[in-house]
Amino acid sequence: MPMLEEQLKVLKKTFDKYAGKDGDKGSMSKAELADLLREEFPGMAGDKKQLDQFFTGLDGDKDGTVSFPEFVQFAATLLLMLMSQM
């Protein structure tokens, strides 16, 4: 399997790993997003206020959850941030 295809599948698997812990597998709650940040990006977890601001920015449709398309936008933004630090 091509590397990019594999990495895209990893992105979806990561979303699925954290989304649904509260019962809704199609979206991620703020608590689930906090778990993801704590476990996958320990240096970015921040405090509650930072998490609230981050979550609000990700929740594009303001439904109180982060959908997979919103998560993909997060991943792209994160990639750009990481690249700017190189």
Separation CA 18–CA 65 (nearest Å): 12
Give per-residue pLDDT as tens, 22-77: 888 999 999 999 899 889 888 766 678 888 888 888 899 999 999 999 999 988 88
- Give the 3-state secondary structure of residue 54: helix
Can you give the residue ranges of every domain in the chain? 3-18+27-84
Query: Rounded to two decimals, what is the model's pTM?
Result: 0.82
Residue 17 pLDDT > 80: yes
Stated as kind and residue range, the H or E segment containing 28 is strand 27-28
- The CATH superfamily assigned to 3-18+27-84 is EF-hand (1.10.238.10)
* Structure token digits, residue 2: 């091509």
Residue 81 pLDDT > 90: no
